[in-house]
């Protein structure tokens, strides 16, 4: 039994419509997925920038602490030297020894 050309054309038209609908649906799904990837990329980029800023701030704090330690070491050496000089200049009563 042979189908009429109208029936065949109608079937092709429906198949074509279904394919187009499927492709549009897939395109929308693909675009939504790309949107999520783009959002996640920007979110990741923001997190990396924050971590970089934190690392830079931590490096600056470490540098400042190193300078503070150097100053403290100089101050400590100065105090120790002054203390030794004072000990030498004092006269101690003999009963303390």
What distance in Å separates the CA atoms of residue 88 and residue 79, rounded to the nearest whole number?
14
Task: Considering only residues 2 and 11, tell me which one the structure prediction assigns the higher pLDDT.
Answer: 11
Between CA 59 and CA 47 the distance in angstroms is: 18
Domain ranges of the chain: 8-87
CA distance 54 to 60: 10
State pTM to two decimals: 0.46
pLDDT value of residue 1: 47
Q: Please give the Cα distance from 53 to 59 (Å, whole number).
A: 10
> How many whole angstroms separate alpha carbon 30 and alpha carbon 21?
14
């Amino acid at each position: 039994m042979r189908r009429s050309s109208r029936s065949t054309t109608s079937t092709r038209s429906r198949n074509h419509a279904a394919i187009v609908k499927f492709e549009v649906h897939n395109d929308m799904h693909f675009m939504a997925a790309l949107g999520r990837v783009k959002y996640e990329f920007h979110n990741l980029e923001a997190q990396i920038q924050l971590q970089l800023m934190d690392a830079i701030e931590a490096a600056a704090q470490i540098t400042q602490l190193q300078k503070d330690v150097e100053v403290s070491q100089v101050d400590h050496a100065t105090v120790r030297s002054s203390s030794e000089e004072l000990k030498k200049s004092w006269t101690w009563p003999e009963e303390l020894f």
